[in-house]
Amino acid sequence: MKPWRFLAPNMLGFTWRTLSQALVDKLKGAPSRPVQVAAYVAEHAERGNPASVLATIDRFAREVRWLMNIGPDKGPLVQEMAGRLPTGARILELGAYCGYSSIMMSNTFGDAASITSIEVDADAVDSCRRNVEVAGLSNRITFIHGPSSKVLETLDAQPFDLVFLDHWKDLYKRDLEIIENRGLLKQGSIVVADNVGDVFNPAEYLTYVRECGHYDTENREATIEYTNAPDAVEISVYKGR
């Protein structure tokens, strides 16, 4: 990531908003952002209604505190994959945060799809489980707490149909190579990487998927969640080695 890009003229409003919100939370001794989201969802969302949970999280992100989940503007780029996945698709997510993308994918891909989501932050894992329970999707989504590299080494070597990367951007390449080496991809598996625009700029990852010869890849322009700031999503189809 290139922190100086957050001082670009088109990013100043976003930067000021997020820094001021973080400062206010720190001064108040507020709980972490995922914990705040879970409490908000429990109070405002309709139980058993995934769309209501997503809309409630969106409202929190716009009206209360900014969130770094994929959001409703980039979400459709992931939802597009529904027509390219088999019934009963296996999905792997790296970076769960508050469970937004897991809920969105499960609601889109149907009750036969299963999602395994890895998250390093304990508060986030708890928030995810609470939000998914409100959405009524707990039987479809499994959250695993721990560092991505270590958890990936423990997964059964059964390929996933879709991998969604949305954790620390400097880990994208390392973790994708672990996924490949462990046989967690098959020919036709789709890898979707969020936040690959100039602000976050995971250049090592983008060079790898574009030049290693293992993928057919495309870059889709987008915006950073809940802002008008430019971003992008990389969609890569695994060809095998």
> What residue ranges do the domains of the chain occupy?
12-238
* pLDDT at 10 (0 to 100): 59
Q: What is the pLDDT of residues 161-198, one digit of tens each?
A: 999 999 999 999 999 999 999 999 999 999 999 999 98
pTM, two decimals, is 0.92
**Which pLDDT belongs to residue 219?**
97
Measured distance CA(116)–CA(83) in Å, rounded: 20
Mean pLDDT of the chain, nearest integer: 92
Does the pLDDT of residue 40 top 70, yes or no? yes
pLDDT tens-digit profile of 208-236?
A: 999 999 999 999 999 999 988 899 999 99
Q: Per residue in 10-48, is it b (16+ CB within 10 Å) or e — as a string?
A: ebeebeeeeeeeeeeeeeeeeebbbbbbbebbeeebeee
- Residue 208's SS3 state is helix
Predicted local distance difference test score (pLDDT) of residue 158: 95
3-state helix, strand, coil in the chain (%, to 5): 50, 20, 30
Residue 58's CB is within 10 A of a number of other CB atoms, namely 19
Q: Looking at residue 163, what is its pLDDT?
A: 98
**Which residue has better confidence, 200 or 96?**
96
pLDDT at 26: 76
Give the count of alpha carbons within 13 A of 44, CB side only.
16
33 compared with 6, residue with greater pLDDT: 33
pLDDT score at 30: 72
What does the pLDDT read at residue 168? 95
pLDDT reading at 3 higher than 90 = no
216 Cβ neighbours under 8 A, 6+ residues apart: 236, 237, 239
Binned at pLDDT 50, 70 and 90, residue 115 comes out as very high
pLDDT category, 47, cuts 50, 70, 90?
very high
pLDDT for residue 142 is more than 90: yes
Confidence of residue 116 (pLDDT cuts 50, 70, 90): very high
Architecture of the 12-238 domain: 3-Layer(aba) Sandwich (3.40)
pLDDT at 4 over 60: no
6-29 mean pLDDT: 66
pLDDT value of position 102: 98
Confidence (pLDDT) at 228: 87
